[in-house]
Chains A and B, each alone.
Chain A
């Protein structure tokens, strides 16, 4: 072997290509576990939606569809900026990469901000399950289950967003320090996979939580 190993090459790998492939596969397997992790919640949701559809409709109607739609648009945009960030990394454009990472994080933060606003509304309207919960008598129990699902599913999603922003922050620092080149940018691509996944979860959460019974 005449070439010296790349500084980022870990000792258990024979080549940077092997390391990148392994890292990518590792993130994909992790995302598979996340599908099943959220999947348990989606299963719970499905069972109760089938049997409590009227109550779920009534409860879903109480969510702010404008904020929800805006948030969906925000996340999709952040996926765009993330994809462009990976593209910039592929071409070794450090300045673009840094900017696009910042944009992605900013959009993620906007999402969380709007989410926080929605949560505060729910608190004010007594739609938080527990002793303070209030809802019309006919759908009380079913709506409470809906809101329990709402908080757990969007809460878990928000936790994933926060972690994602943290990861991107680390990526930004590493990129700023010049760690990534057109030859080696695997961590950016892998972080992007995670970010897109969190977006996909929201793509499903949005219609399932916000768009039931809107025609009523």
Chain B
């Protein structure tokens, strides 16, 4: 039997064929890459339902089916009775096989800390950073009574617990109190009855000995450096690494079929959000810009931000487009979903449609109306996922700062996120729904409506959903991963220009955009209140722009100041968004639907015939 270690001795120069898979909650996706004329390129994809759960309970069945589809499309044999054929020889086998996984609920963690907004928040960020779903955050001051906390810990059944609390050299009592709660509750691991639940301790180093006494007997305890060694410093990396190691050692090895899958792969299996996150980070680092990325999946919504070099990842469990679609309904409310529909639809019918998607999660919208309903839900899932993200993308609490009088008036701002949408340069999306949207303009509109970019923001998306694949590939073959990312994965949708400022009367001028187009043409286009406009500019083309906002509007250079910028084109083009920030939809149903139709038409988001039908229904 070949082990993962033996497979790691790779000669990167000899790698001609690469197979990567992602075992998602709903589908397993295979991506096939080859070296063609000295360049690594994406060749084909295959997808099949994930088979991690009953009645199949073997993840490799779904992987095989997805890979078989690649075989059918390419004529390249990849599978044998034993698994993936390694290495390649002619039209048989692959030189590298890598995979990510979020199947079976991904990595589900509980985190604890002493103070909710300090060590507990740092622990939550670290767990999310490792690609986990955080099921609950327990802290001394979380408002729950002790018995309620114990009851909660007892019933959660996480895959792993991260325990933090206290700065190094500080008091040990509180963090030991939390450890005592855990040992009293005796939580059991989600997968497999007979193995010890892994716990990572990343708290006050002075408490290690006593933590070992309290937790060491009942759990698989791993002790790492303090996540918050001092109030002014967050140190998530050791905890994150321990989480990844324990994920492989304990959790994955107990998931159905993963023992086999682990033997097939050339490098360790990576949680899907960890793979996605690596690529969004790569994108930000390559260009030296601030990026917001989102992976909209069937069960979760993962949001990533790289802002002034700071990387934060959040995984919103139960906000997704298949299994979790009705949790979006629950969290957002039916009215918030229905406000994005440009046609009349009874609330009962919308509810039933979402429920039918929930109970049969692999169905695909065959009709345009069904697609529009899914896109409405997606906007709300993205909006809620981003709100969750912003609640964690904020500065460290508990640090003493010198304040001036003016700071006192702005004290509330400390509670808010540090993400300033005006300073976000790129918003990029991945995940089945965004990558498979029939028109790229649909992805553009979903990203704009949910994230509401301000100023000048580039929009991009994953072409066929391969960012997790490239993320795990980058751990073993970074040049191949980057090459494919640039050439075949990253689709430049275009650029959104959205002035920020007080709402003006409809139709009034908000800004004027003067453009020097690549063919030498000059044009000036007005951004008017309540309007969306599209200026075609191809992918790979740039236009020099001078954007002159009205006196109380801002496009990035300050209110009333002209911004000069190089605008990048894309498969959709330049979208001028004069709808205002925050984007407020009309209360009147007819007016709202009329506006939605107008906006969809402006960017050619949906087939003309459908928009005409929606419009006719209004008259």
Q: Do A and B bind each other?
A: no
Task: Give the B-binding residues of A (Cβ under 8 A).
Answer: none
